[in-house]
Amino acid sequence: MRTINVVSPVYKNLEQIKNLYTAIKNQKEVNIRKIVFSLTLSNENVDQEIISFMEENVISYFTVTQEEFSHSLTREKAIREYCDSEIVVLCSQDIKITDEYALKKLTDALNDEVVYVYGRQTCNNHSIEKYIRKKNYPKEGYVVSKEDIDRLQIMAFFSSDAFSALDRNVFIKLNGYQGYNVMMGEDMLYSKFVLDNGYKKAYVAEAIVEHSHKYTLKQLYNRYYETGKFHKEVGFFKNYKTNDSGLKLALSVLGQALIHFDIIVIFRWLPDMAARYLGMRKGKK
């Protein structure tokens, strides 16, 4: 039985936090030594309710302001300063873990060579996101090494800290996110450091969580703006081809919607993809 710590950035939604905590505590065949939450303060009454809940349930936590929050550095602070096990699981507060063995399946994939893994995400929303999840998170798992980068190009670094696990000793050895302060893409960034240093990462298809959103067009634009900004600021990803992955994904979604005669998705497709494209383009500038 592997001993692990679980890290999650949390914000404002007490119900999601309670559900995540319960799901983690219900996991079987793993020894969860510590749960660490980084609470981004909303300056609302719910902050104190969340703090009370964490203290009542002996959850390790620290707080950051919205201005201080960073997808990379906040996670790194939790991993370096609050974790004490060799294996750290990273997750988002809004995932739903229904499989009691999900954490075991995810962390069992770690070994001396494979030091970073991420699980499969599904979506139950009747939305474009459902088809995107199916494309990005297939039913078959795989391992990626440095030798695969030429073939896969930028997709070699695809991963998601919404549900991932890493070897903490290697994370510290590689100097974490190496000082990058990013609001998106910290998982992609760490994947590159892992592969460049001769380690491997893996996609664990049997470790499944549900992860669904209902983004407005404005929220989608802002999200992809941050993604574009990430690629602008972290310049070394420009050295890799995209293999038209964005266009292929968009056309795949449309094709699946047409096959299933999914009227809602068909009508949403063009403005949705436009918001993503324009946000990414603006962010890169």
| CA 72 remoteness from chain centre | 11
Contact assessment for residue 9 and residue 79, using Cβ atoms and an 8 Å cutoff: no
Q: What is the pLDDT of residues 80-109, one digit of tens each?
A: 999 999 999 999 999 999 999 999 999 999
Same domain? For 184 and 233 the reply is no
Q: Which two tokens stand for residue 78?
A: 């939790």
Same domain? For 169 and 242 the reply is no
Mean local confidence (pLDDT), 257-271: 79
Mean local confidence (pLDDT), 33-47: 96
Same domain? For 247 and 267 the reply is yes
**Per-residue pLDDT at 127:** 79
**Does 195 have pLDDT greater than 60?**
yes
- Residues β-bridged to residue 60: 36
**Per-residue pLDDT at 265:** 78
Q: CA geometry: angle at 32 spanning 142 and 185, to 5°? A: 45
Q: Which of 175, 194, 213 is the last residue of a domain?
A: 213
- CATH of residue 8: 3.90.550.10
Q: In what order do the strands lie in the sheet with 60-64?
A: 60-64, 30-40, 2-10, 87-91, 163-167, 114-122, 200-210, 142-144
**Does 62 have pLDDT greater than 80?**
yes
Structural domain that includes position 248: 218-284
**Does 244 have pLDDT greater than 60?**
no
Contact assessment for residue 183 and residue 142, using Cβ atoms and an 8 Å cutoff: no
Number of structural domains found in the chain: 2
Same domain? For 6 and 136 the reply is yes
What is this structure's pTM?
0.91
Mean pLDDT of the chain: 91
Q: Which of 164, 191, 213 is the last residue of a domain?
A: 213
Q: Can you list the positions of beta strands (E) in the chain?
A: 2-10, 30-40, 60-64, 87-91, 114-122, 142-144, 163-167, 200-210
Contact assessment for residue 6 and residue 97, using Cβ atoms and an 8 Å cutoff: no
Q: Which of 154, 182, 213 is the last residue of a domain?
A: 213
Same domain? For 33 and 157 the reply is yes
Residue 114's pLDDT band (boundaries 50, 70, 90)? very high
Q: What is the pLDDT of residues 219-243, one digit of tens each?
A: 888 888 988 888 888 878 888 877 5
